[in-house]
């Protein structure tokens, strides 16, 4: 089991484009909620993956509790941040936030679980 401690963090930035918009809003281009959540999960994963003790370990998402508070429009740069705030054995809790500049567009918590990759392989 990894010896992860709170404080690990990662940030990533993307520019909103047409591939990120919900079908029902087209031709309007905005960041969809599923895309925002996916970016939050990616940032959380990247924050701890290099810290896992064994190369065959990774994390899987188990819970997402976020609000999508404001739109991010086409061409705007969205920065997503994740910080590991609690470790309970293999259970990891992250604070996640998405923003455009200083404007928060989404925030909440995300939980992941440390697993062995072999658990998911077919034999």
Q: Which residues are catalytic?
A: 33, 41, 68
CB of 39 closer than 8 Å to CB of 99: no
d(CA 109, CA 65): 5
Q: What angle do CA 80, 81, 83 make, to 5 degrees?
A: 155
Using the structure block, give the residue that is written with the tokens 């086409």. Answer: 74
The 10 Å CB-count burial string (b at 16+, else e) for 13-45 is ebebeeebbeeeeeeebbbbeebbbebbbebbb
Beta bridge partners of residue 96, listed in sequence order: 82, 108
């Amino acid at each position: 089991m990894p010896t992860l401690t709170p404080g690990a963090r990662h940030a990533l930035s993307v520019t909103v484009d047409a591939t990120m918009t919900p079908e029902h809003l087209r031709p309007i281009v905005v960041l969809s909620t599923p895309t925002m959540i996916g970016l939050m999960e990616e940032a959380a994963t990247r924050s701890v993956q290099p810290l896992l003790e064994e190369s065959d370990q990774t994390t899987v998402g188990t819970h997402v509790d976020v609000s999508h508070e404001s739109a991010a429009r086409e061409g705007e740069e969205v920065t997503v941040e994740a910080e590991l705030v609690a470790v309970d054995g293999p259970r990891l809790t992250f604070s996640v936030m998405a923003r455009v500049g200083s404007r928060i567009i989404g925030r909440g918590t995300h939980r992941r679980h440390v697993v062995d990759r072999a658990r998911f392989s077919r034999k």
